[in-house]
Amino acid sequence: MKLLHPGTKWSFRLRSFTSMLFLAAVIFIFVLPFLQVTVNNTFFFSLTNKTIIFVFCVIILTEIFARLTYNAWKYELKTKEVTLEMGVIRKIYKSIPYTRVQNVELHRGIIARMLGFSTIIIQTAGYSGGGSSQGRSGAEGSIPGVSTKEAEKIRTFIMKKIGNKAGV
């Protein structure tokens, strides 16, 4: 099984950091006032040692989760299917047969273009998975960080497999 492009770690870092900031904001807004934690008789925090330690812990947790996420993502192109392995907390194993694949899309966001990777979106026939990975309807699978050249090769390979099933 292949790992993702190393630049994908930055994408995972940004997602993790955004989630951690959201969690920190929820804690500061909703939890701390109930604990009656005040600084200078206000609920606004000045830059104290505890705040610095908290921010440092958030950054460390973000980095750990980003690395775990990166190491958990693997993909492989087999003769009859694409296999995906993902997940840190909940492990997910997917096999997508080429016979069900309808289309393969390549997406390159701003960060992906700067770091030189693409996201491969695999759309299949009959997929009714409600929400899908990467939020794309009709997409049963996605590979979030493959080098641009490798992504083009994978897309071409899968499209040839699709062409073979149609007798082209």
pLDDT of residue 149: 94
Q: Are residues 81 and 161 in the same domain?
A: yes
Distance from C-alpha of 107 to C-alpha of 42, rounded to nearest angstrom: 46
CB 87 within 8 A of CB 104: no
pLDDT < 70 stretches in the chain = 31-49, 127-138, 164-168
Any idea what the CATH number is for the domain that residue 129 is in? 2.30.29
Tell me which of 71, 105, 121 is where a domain ends: 71
* 97: its two tokens: 């047969």
Distance from C-alpha of 23 to C-alpha of 43, rounded to nearest angstrom: 17
Q: What angle do CA 66, 67, 69 make, to 5 degrees?
A: 65
Residue 159 CB contacts under 8 Å (≥ 6 apart), including other chains = 104
Model confidence, pTM: 0.73
pLDDT of residue 150: 94
pLDDT of residue 26: 79
Distance from C-alpha of 140 to C-alpha of 94, rounded to nearest angstrom: 9
Q: Are residues 161 and 87 in the same domain?
A: yes
CB 61 within 8 A of CB 12: no
Q: Are residues 62 and 120 in the same domain?
A: no
pLDDT of residue 133: 47
For residue 106, the cross-strand partners are 120
Q: Is residue 30 part of a domain?
A: yes
CB 70 within 8 A of CB 10: no
Tell me which of 71, 91, 116 is where a domain ends: 71
Distance from C-alpha of 125 to C-alpha of 165, rounded to nearest angstrom: 13
Tell me which of 71, 87, 122 is where a domain ends: 71
For residue 142, the cross-strand partners are 121
Q: Are residues 140 and 62 in the same domain?
A: no
